[in-house]
Amino acid sequence: MLKIKDIRKNFGDLKALDDVSFDVDDGHILGLIGQNGAGKSTTFHSILNFLHYQGTITWNNQPITEDVFNQIGYLPEERSLMPKLTIEQQLIYLARLKGKTAKEIRPQIDIWLQKFAVKGTKKDKIKDLSKGNQQKVQLICTLIHHPKLIILDEPFSGLDPVNSDLLKKAIFEAKEQGAAIIFSSHDMENVEELCDSLVMLRNGQVVLKGTVRKVRQEFGRTRIFVTTDWTKEQLEQLPHVIKVEPQEEKRFVLRLDDETAGKEIFDELTHGQYIEEFNQQPPTLNEIFRLKAGAKNE
Amino acid sequence: MNKLWIVTLETFWRQVKSWSFLTLILGPFIMFAITIGAGYLGYQSGGTSSEIAVISNQPQLRQNFIKENKDDVMKKVTDVKTAKKKMNDNSLAGYLLLNIDNQKVTAKYVGTSSLNSSLKTKVNSYLAKTQQQLNLANAQLSPAQIQSLAQQPSFKETVQKKTGTANTAKTISFWITIIMVYMILNTYTSITAQEIASEKGTKIMEIIFSSTTAVKYFLGKVFGVLLVILLQILIYLFGGWGAYIFAQNSDLTKDIVAQNQSLITSVLKNLLSINLVYLLLGVVIFTILAAFSGALVAKVEDAAKAAQPVIMLNLLAFFVTFPFQNNLDSIVVKILSYVPFFSSYFMPLRIINNDAGSMEIVISLVVLMASCVLLAWYIGKIYQGLMLQTDDSSFWKRFTRGLSYSK
């Protein structure tokens, strides 16, 4: 289990992390979300001991030192490999730095290249691969030594939907094998699909924490999808409606400041008559993200 | 395997398998081969075309000249017609017509180019001697008068061969040492700084530092480069030994080697000594500084610039040696022989000049080694922060932000 407790890190006057705490259990996936500069990468750098911080970070109750490095698979935000090496040389070199031998890794290379549908052979040089294939090789570098703690910084950025699916499959496989996985993403659909829980950072502070379901429920069912003959202006006059977003013909999304107003709005709209659609839901993660990120500027 | 050694061996093999290393190693041998080859070709072609023919109506006059200058004369040519034919074939440099007309010795040279100065001197000397003999015979002098006229002035030159050779050896050793140290330091400084800067530019360091500590990685890089230089020195030692054996046995060079045996031995003694340790430690300290310099670069495109500060320092140390070429006893030389970065140049020069005692050498080595350790320790400590700091800001901002990673 990865345990992060009260970590703080300042860069000069800037509070990069301010009392950040969360846990990631074995076999669980945690999504770390937040705007650019919220402190996601700094959190990863702290876990990996790249920088000095205050607070405690432990993996299976021991501090993260070089002894733990072999159990970690890390994919940095900025993709990088050694361009002059072949795929095989690159994978073996990095796996050896993770405590594996060339003999252990060599037979696995083709399997992983196939799993990620990398175009080319293991004898191809990294510099000769397309950007997408280089990214896949880097993902293989992160996973080939079967880490117990996987840290992925924006793993989906730059991947097309097909390759995103390949990565999701690999992440789920690692989860099934008991790895604790933490990843950052701006794509809330991926977070919703993959994560057991999430942490949202804003200005280095935790502003949301919990399972995806719990987080959404905390925001209440403040969204109503309706299909009606009413106009936008008429809908805006309804009680507790703070915003009306037209969608396709006759379809609108109403945003409420109080979820309990749903029944009253339903009565107003229907007056006991048939209505094509009335669906009250909690906000999506994307909306929550926007809402929480927007609060920064308030 | 220990991660330090994984990095060391990876750095070593990557360098050794590169074209630049092959060029670096083969360069001196190719130069040696070209020099020998050019000398041989020159020797071969020059052997025929520098010979002249001597033609004369007086056989004794011709024979005497040939007897004294047999290496310069093609004996078989005895007439002008044959000589001209050979000149047209480029197998004869020219012909010399020798005669005595009215008790006067005359000589006329016809050639494809001017008579070379050495042979011209010999011809003049022969003509003067022959003319004098003729004059004495014509003057019919008494033996006493002849003896009186035969008196020659006296000029004596005494060269203390051992001291002369030693001085020449010192001068040669001086230049070989400083040029060798400069070239090797320059090469490895550039290689290291560019490699580190490239790695930083490709952002691979986050992956590396999630696998091993920055100190181990940094030391692995330095040790890797050190292994490369050790290999290079070993290749040069064996290659140099092979070239020496070749030079001793080759027809082209064995006379030169034999004539200069004591000089060659002195130079080799000066080079193959504790000076090699200074060269190695020089590479170490400059490599550490080069790694630091490379770590301060922000972009991969700036990798070529990374080595500049260290190259400038090396250049400074190199040029500072020049004024002291003939003044190795100077106090400045003594001070600089203890100063890291400079001592790799100056202490070897003092050793060559027999001006450094054992204790002085030990102290200088200890200072140099301690500096290497302290510098490696400090840079290893801040290395991770510097390598992870990739903002495209000013040099100073990158440096201070890099340091803040470690606080």
CB contact under 8 A, B14 and A84: yes
CB contact under 8 A, B385 and A69: no
CB contact under 8 A, A80 and B203: yes
Query: What pLDDT sits at residue B361?
Result: 92
ipTM passes above 0.90: no
Q: What is the mean pLDDT of residues A34-53?
A: 89
For chains A and B, CB pairs below 8 A equal 67
Query: What pLDDT sits at residue B162?
Result: 58
Q: Which residue has the higher pLDDT, A44 or B148?
A: A44
The low-confidence residues of chain B, meaning pLDDT below 70, are 1, 39-40, 42-49, 158-165, 300, 390-407
- Mapping DSSP onto H, E and C, the string for chain B reads CCHHHHHHHHHHHHHHCCHHHHHHHHHHHHHHHHHHHHHHHHHHHHHHHCCEEEEECCHHHHHHHHHHCHHHECCCCCCHHHHHHHHHCCCCCEEEEEEEECCEEEEEEEECCCCCHHHHHHHHHHHHHHHHHHHHHHHCCCHHHHHHHCCCCCCCCCCCHHHHHHHHHHHHHHHHHHHHHHHHHHHHHHHHHHHHHHHHHCCCHHHHHCCCCHHHHHHHHHHHHHHHHHHHHHHHHHHHHHHHHHHHHCCCCHHHHHHCHHHHHHHHHHHCCCHHHHHHHHHHHHHHHHHHHHHCCCCHHHHHHHCHHHHHHHHHHHHHHHHHCCCCCCHHHHHHCCCCCCHHHHHHHHHHCCCCCHHHHHHHHHHHHHHHHHHHHHHHHHHHHHHHCCCCCCHHHHHHHHHHHCC
Our CA-based measurement puts residue A237 at a distance from the nearest CA of chain B, in whole angstroms, of: 51
Cβ contacts of B202 on chain A, cutoff 8 Å: 80-83
Using pLDDT thresholds of 50, 70 and 90, give the confidence band for residue A297.
very low
CATH topology for A220-281 is Alpha-Beta Plaits (3.30.70)
Query: What pLDDT sits at residue B395?
Result: 65
Cβ contacts of B207 on chain A, cutoff 8 Å: 74, 76, 80, 94, 138, 141
Query: What pLDDT sits at residue B49?
Result: 62
Q: Specify whether the CB–CB gap between A113 and A122 falls below 8 A.
A: yes
Query: What pLDDT sits at residue B164?
Result: 62
Query: What pLDDT sits at residue B392?
Result: 63
pLDDT, tens digit (0-9, with 9 covering 90-100), for A158-179: 888 888 899 999 999 999 999 9
- The answer to whether A215 faces chain B, any CB pair under 8 Å, is no
Q: Is the pLDDT of residue A143 over 60?
A: yes
Instruction: Select from B206, B301, B396 the residue whose CB has the most chain A CBs within 10 Å, as the one to mutate to test that interface.
Output: B206
Domains A2-217 and A220-281 equal at CATH topology level: no
Our CA-based measurement puts residue B378 at a distance from the nearest CA of chain A, in whole angstroms, of: 16
Cβ contacts of A78 on chain B, cutoff 8 Å: 203, 206, 390
Our CA-based measurement puts residue B20 at a distance from the nearest CA of chain A, in whole angstroms, of: 14
For chain A, the average pLDDT equals 88
pLDDT, tens digit (0-9, with 9 covering 90-100), for B228-275: 988 988 888 888 888 888 888 887 777 778 877 878 888 888 777 888
CB contact under 8 A, B207 and A84: no
- Sheet architecture: strand order including B52-56: B52-56, B94-101, B104-111
CATH of the domain spanning B51-149: 3.40.190
- Domain map (residue ranges) of chain A: 2-217, 220-281
Query: What pLDDT sits at residue B153?
Result: 80
- Domain map (residue ranges) of chain B: 51-149, 164-405
A2-217 is a CATH 3.40.50.300 domain: yes
Sign of torsion over alpha carbons B391, B397, B399, B403: negative
Query: What pLDDT sits at residue B134?
Result: 86
pLDDT, tens digit (0-9, with 9 covering 90-100), for A74-83: 998 887 888 8
CB contact under 8 A, B206 and A78: yes
Query: What pLDDT sits at residue B405?
Result: 60
Q: What is the mean pLDDT of residues A249-254?
A: 89
Our CA-based measurement puts residue A48 at a distance from the nearest CA of chain B, in whole angstroms, of: 6
